[in-house]
Every structure is written in structure tokens, then in C-alpha cells.
Structure 1
Amino acid sequence: MTTNAADAGNPAKPVREEDAFDVAAVAAWLRDNALAFRDDLEGTPEVRQFPGGASNLTYLLRYTPQDRPQRDLILRRPPAGVKAAGAHDMGREFVIQHALAPLFPYVATMVGHCTDDSVIGSDFYVMEKIDGTIPRRDLPWELPPEEVSQMCESALDVLIALHSVDVSQSVELEAYGRGDGYVDRQMRGWTRRFGDARTDDTGDWSDIIAWLEEHKPGDVGQRMIHNDFRFDNLVLHAEDPQQVVGVLDWEMATVGDPLMDLGGMLSYWVQADDDEFFLMFRRQPTTVPGMWTRDQVVAHYCERMGFDMTPERWRFYEVFGLFRLAVIAQQIWFRYFHGQTTNEQYAVFGPAVGYLETRCRAIIAAS
């Protein structure tokens, strides 16, 4: 039985009061501005909210026209409160997916991007809802290890396909490239964001940041990268979980060093032999028997991409990925710490930042 993507492991629920918006205003805007499915957008949709995720707010818009099949759309908008500069850019998500569609068959159809804050108080975009299953913390299927291994390989091959996109075929995509120096720009940018999001309980990361600065490599290339590639941002075919049918959450996508993308992906990759806290931190099914280890992922990816990789060379990307994850967690914790959100799932992000600090130091010490 086919499961709707956003409903699997993350069922849509009534909209939280603090996240509500003017549904009639959105419906009117879509009737006037939709790029796709306009004939299906009669009346006012039923709206529910997806509780998963910790960054942008995501809603289901369900249209039920009398003479046509039900049409499910997804609306994305920024959270309330103070946000990091450049973060929660709805236009970026919209433009990148729209431009990628002819080159990469794993993006949703874009319906519209609204830049008029008077409609709901912020910009937003709407896209189609991809049918399938999102693998969250645990798989919704009982699969033998060999099928889990195949699922893992298929997911990595989609990342490799993304990193193989020729961005020169798209003026919109090419515009996101800033040339060599991506690793250096990432170091400066994430260090600045970390400083901007500090709270009274933030630890001292100065030695970790100094180590990263000392060991940062040059770019290996300029490729289309997702910057948040994880199992819970993939949509798998509900009947054939070895087949990826969609990639979601393009908020941080850009043109840059693909190894930085891989390092960011593996910062979330909790494997079965990790320590107790990291196992509790897990948000995707990477501990299932048959799932690859982080070392296996790196080896497969680098072989397919033609990169020569040693453990010593990989250590920078591993530590930077964890540092970047800590900054993301700290930004979310900042909002919760200052009462800008009442979502209780954000309460764990403060302790998570402290844990990631310890994990980075352990990897550096092992070198």
C-alpha cells in the first residue's frame, strides 16, 4: 500500500497555535500565482502541520475538488523569532529545486513562491507532495540485511548523481557558485554563526575551531551539493524501499566542495557501535542490520567519485561536519533558550551541543 511521503513516520497533525497562518489568504494567492496544478486549487484547503524537523515549518495543504482527484501540496515557511543571516531562505529552496528539475529527477514540482509578507507575515513556497515513505528514526519495514545494504547504496548513488550534475547547464544553479575557497568560506561562516548563537551555557570551542583552521584543505571541486543529505530527507518508494523517488529540504543547497557535503551527511550517521548518547541522538535508521558504517560510506563514495582518501585526510571533514551540526543545534537551542519557540522537542539541543563538543575533541585527540 502506498504511503504519502510526509505522513510516514511523521503524520500531519493540527496546526500549533503559534504556527497558524491565514489559510484563505494562501488559497487566494495560489489561485492567482500557481505555476502548476492551478485547476486543482479550488476553494480553501484543509491544513495540517508536520511536527518533524527543527528548522523551517512545513504544512500539508489538502485540496478536495468535487470533480477531480484530491491534490496534496506542501507549504514551507520560516520559523518565528530571530534567525541567522542567510538562513530559512524560501527563495533559495524554490529556485534550486525548480532549476534542478530538468537535470536531477528527485525534486518535487514547484507550485509557487510568495515574497509578499502581507499574505501570511513571511515569504513561503508551495510544492507538490511526493508519494512514498520517508525513513525516519526506524524503518517502517522488516527488511533483511542485504536489502538494507542495497537501500544504503541506492541512497548514496543519488548523492553521487547530485554531485555529478553539470551546473553549467543552468544559469540559476551556476549563480550559486563562488569559485574556489568554499572550505575556507564555510569555516568563516559557521564560526560566525556559532558566535552569534551563543548562550550562557555554551562551551569553549576555541581549540576545536583552531584545529579546523590549521587542518583545512583546499577544495576538491565545485559541484551541486545538498548540504543536508540524510535518510529522513529522502522519499523512498513505498513498495520498493531500494528506490529513491525524492529528495527534500533544499534550504542549504549550493555549489561547493562535495566532500563537505559528505562530511555533513555523516555527522548524522549514527552506527550500531556508537556510544549511548549518540545512539539516543539518532534520527535516522542507520543502526539497522545491513546498514553501512561511516567508513564504508566514505570508501564507496570516494571510489565512485574518484577521490583518493586516507583516514588522516578524512578527519577534517568528519570534525567539521560535527562542528557544523553543533552550530545548527546551537541556533535551534538559542530560539528555545530565549523563549522564541515553545516546541518541547527543541529542549534536547542544548545538551546535544555539549556532547558534540566532546566528540570533536575525541576525534582530534585520536589523530
Structure 2
Amino acid sequence: MLGENATIEVREGEGLNIEAVDAALKANVDGLSGTPSVTQYPSGNSNLTYAIDYPDRRLVLRRPPFGPLPKAGHNMFREYRIMRDLKPAFDQVPQTVFYTDDESIIGKEFYVMDRVDGPLIHKTIPPEWNWNADDTAQLGENFIDALAKLHTLDWKALGLEDFGRPEGYVERQILGWNKRWDKAWTDGITRFDDVQKWLEDNMPAESGNVSVLHGDYRVDNAILKAEDPRQIAALLDWEICAIGDPLMDLGNTLSYWIEASDPAPMHMMIRQPSAAPGMPSRREFAQRYGEKTGYDVSDIHYHFVYGIWRLAVIIQQIHARYVRGQTQDERFAVMDKSVEALGALARYKIDSGTL
């Protein structure tokens, strides 16, 4: 069906040594038999994801991208561990089955999890679902509620006390993303010094709340339930998860949440069906989240601008890898346009003071 989480043939230059993977899995995962096939998930601009299909079990493998990597980036164990440790209290993550840091197998560390069956959707709701605005609204509400649940888990009770440093998280994020921008900047890109200065000058105090942060919370990073796609089956792509101020994570999420009434440049960046009839506005999203968590969202405009800027930096980091010859993926060649659009959007939102 449309919306199925389909795979493609493995892209050139991103192949796996499937024989070595098969041997490692059979030595560590009970019950595997037969010869696996391997295909690749086409989405994602950073870590690479593959379908490893055995005759009677379907698995998913995640590994870092090829080429030089930043020292602290693409940590596969963090992704593996957060899902493993969340699972007892938060069922909306896949079941992890194996992790290894033995780079002799495929050249990098990797982990494997069970595949979660169900649709994954991107910009639009599949028309053959024949949804009305109430169906779409239910998906939006369930999506908000899953984030609220994640942000109110007892992360210490889940054994995640050593997973991050929540103290000073807001300042560390603002200064850190500004520093990453400076390192990733390439000729021809606007500097946006004014955006960076506004974020530093208007930095709010810590909210006092600490939670597990997903870091990339979007509908297109969620597998929906096959029997009822209005519900969230599993959240994917925990690459930049953390422990910190949940309002920073909410700001990131709102930066992706394009509304139907937003100007055309924002719609160019839409990645999920947030503009579909029935979906909540950003303001309604924040309000429901606040009601579910009990957190004060009155200053969420700042976090929203931060989310826009962080996204601009992430995309510039990817674009810089192409410019510097660290990858040949042509998708990254034109990402400078998205960087410019996001920087301009951050300026506009700073001036307007609105979500």
C-alpha cells in the first residue's frame, strides 16, 4: 500500500558485507536460519539503514555513513542503548537485538533491531486511506501525546542517569550549534551572525524539567500501526537523542511542523503531513503538549527559533561534507538552498515574535 516503508537496491558505494553480517548475527541472535537478502531504506541523510531479511525474520541494520566522521557523531551505541533502555516503559520503540563495535565486520560499528511492520508516510496522507479531518486530527493528537509521554518518563528509573548531562543543557545547545555552524560554514552561504547573536542574547533559563529527548521527532520518523495508522507503532532515528530540557526538543519538533497557512518557502521544506486538514497548528500542538506534560510552554517561541536554526546547521553540515568532497551523494549538492531558506525563516520569526 502507499505509505509502506519500502526499500530500494543498495546505493552504489554504500554496500554491506552481508556474509560477514550474517555470520555475526547467527553467532549472537538465536533462531536465525537461511540466507538473508539486503536492501536499503532510501530516506535519511546521515546514518544508513538497511533491511536484512531472513526467510522467517525481518531485521533492520543501522550503521554510520561512509567517509570521515566527526569525533562525537554517529554513535551507534547511543541509538541502540536508548531504545533498549526505554522499551520496558515506552513500547513505541523497536526491539533491539544486537550491537557490536567490532569494525572488522563491516568497517564500522552497527546495531540491529526487529523490523516493525506498518506504514511510514511523508508529505501527505495516502489518498486511498480515505481519511477525513477527524482521522488526521487523531493522528496529530496521538503524535503529540507520544512526545508528551516520552518527556515525562522517569529516565533515572530506566537506568539513564549516565546517558547525558542535563545541567546547562540549554546553553550548551545554543553555543554548541553556533560553534558547529562556524565549522560547517562554506563559501557562498550567508553567515546569519544576527540569528546566532539573538539566540545567545535571549537565552532563557533552564525550565527545571529534565527528560529523554528524541532530537528528530517527526511523523516521517514514525512507523504507524498497520491495523490503525492513526496510532504510533514505533519511533525511529534516535541518532541525536539526549537527556535535557524537554522544551528544546519541543522547539525542534515545532520547527518541522509546517502549517497549511505558512508561506511557500516553508512548504518547500515539508517532510510530514502536518499541513493536512485536521492537523493541529503549532500553537495548538504546544498547548496540548503543555496540558499533557504540565510544562510551561509560554516561552516556546524562543525554542521554536532555536529549532529552526539547529535544523539549518544540521543541513549545512551535510552540505559541507559534499562541498569538501567527503561524500559524492548528489542529494547534498543543493542543500545550500534549504540552509538559506531556514536562516531567513529564523530571522523572520525573530522579528515577528510568532509561531
- TM bin (shorter chain): over 0.9
SS at 1:267's partner residue? helix
1:128 aligns with 2:114: yes
Residues 74-127 of structure 1, C-alpha deviations (whole Å, 9 max, x = no match) = 000011123333221101000111111111111111111110111111111100
Matched, 1:115 2:101: yes
Contact 1:10–1:52, Cα closer than 8 Å, also in 2: no
Q: Is the 8 A contact 1:81 1:335 kept in 2?
A: no
Superposed CA deviations along residues 266-308 of structure 1, whole A, max 9, x for unmatched, are: 1111111111121121111111111111111011111222233
Using the alignment, how far apart are the partners of 2:79 and 2:138 within structure 1? Answer: 29
Please tell me whether residue 174 in structure 1 is matched to residue 169 in structure 2: no
Q: TM-score if structure 2 supplies the norm length?
A: 0.95
Q: Which residue of 2 aligns with 1:334?
A: 320
Structure 1 partner of 2:86: 100
What one-letter code is carried by the residue in structure 2 that aligns with 1:52?
A: S
- The SS at the match of 1:179 is coil
- Is the CA contact 1:23–1:44 (under 8 Å) kept in the aligned structure 2? no
Aligned to 1:56: 47
Within the candidate set 10, 34, 49, 1:15 is matched to: 10
The 1-side partners of 2:6 and 2:339 are apart by 28
> Is 1:292–2:287 an aligned residue pair?
no
Aligned residues: 350
Flag structure 1 segments of 5+ consecutive residues without an equivalent. Answer: 65-69
Amino acid at match of 2:189: T
> Higher mean Cα deviation, 135-144 or 314-323?
135-144
Matched with 1:233 is 221
Secondary structure of residue in 2 paired with 1:168: coil
Amino acid at match of 1:146: D
Residue of structure 2 equivalent to 1:202: 189
Alpha-carbon distance, 1:10 to partner: 4.7
TM superposition shift of 1:357: 0.9
> Residue 177 of structure 1 contacts residue 222 of structure 1 at CA under 8 Å; is this kept in 2?
no
* 2:20 aligned to which of 14, 21, 25: 25
1:249 pairs, out of 237, 241, 255, with 237
Q: Structure 1 residue aligned with 2:123, among 137, 149, 152? A: 137
Q: Is the 8 A contact 2:247 2:297 kept in 1?
A: no
2:5–2:118 Cα contact (<8 Å) kept: no
Residue in 1 that maps onto 2:338:
352
Secondary structure at 1:58 match in 2: strand
- 2 CA distance for matches of 1:85 and 1:270? 33
Q: How far apart, CA to CA, are the structure 2 residues paired with 1:142 and 1:340?
A: 44
Q: Is 1:269 aligned with 2:264?
A: no
- What is the CA-CA distance between 1:241 and the residue it aligns to? 1.7
1:136-165 deviation digits (Å, cap 9, x = unpaired): 122223310011111100111011110111
Q: CA deviation at 1:360?
A: 0.8
SS at match of 2:13: helix
**Residues of 2 paired with 1:262 and 1:268: CA distance?**
10
Aligned mate of 2:303, from 317, 320, 324: 317
- Give ranges in structure 2 of 5+ residues lacking alignment: none
- Superposed CA deviations along residues 186-240 of structure 1, whole A, max 9, x for unmatched, are 1122122212211112211211111101111122211111111110111111231
Aligned with 1:169: secondary structure?
Answer: coil
Q: TM-score, normalised by structure 1?
A: 0.92
State whether structure 2 residue 80 is matched by structure 1 residue 80: no
Distance 1:138 1:9, change over 3 A: farther
Q: Aligned letter for 1:300? A: R
Verify the 8 A CA contact 1:181 1:218 in the aligned structure 2: no
Q: Distance in 2 between matches of 1:176 and 1:231?
A: 25
Equivalent residue letter for 1:120: I
CA contact (8 A) 2:225 2:233 kept: yes
- 4+ runs of 1 displaced by more than 3 Å? 7-10
> Quick one: which of 166, 173, 178 aligns to 1:186?
173
Q: Work out whether residues 166 and 245 of structure 2, in 8 Å CA contact, stay in contact via their aligned partners in 1.
A: no
Q: Secondary structure at the match of 1:73?
A: strand
The 2-side partners of 1:206 and 1:323 are apart by: 11
- Aligned-residue sequence identity (percent) comes to 41
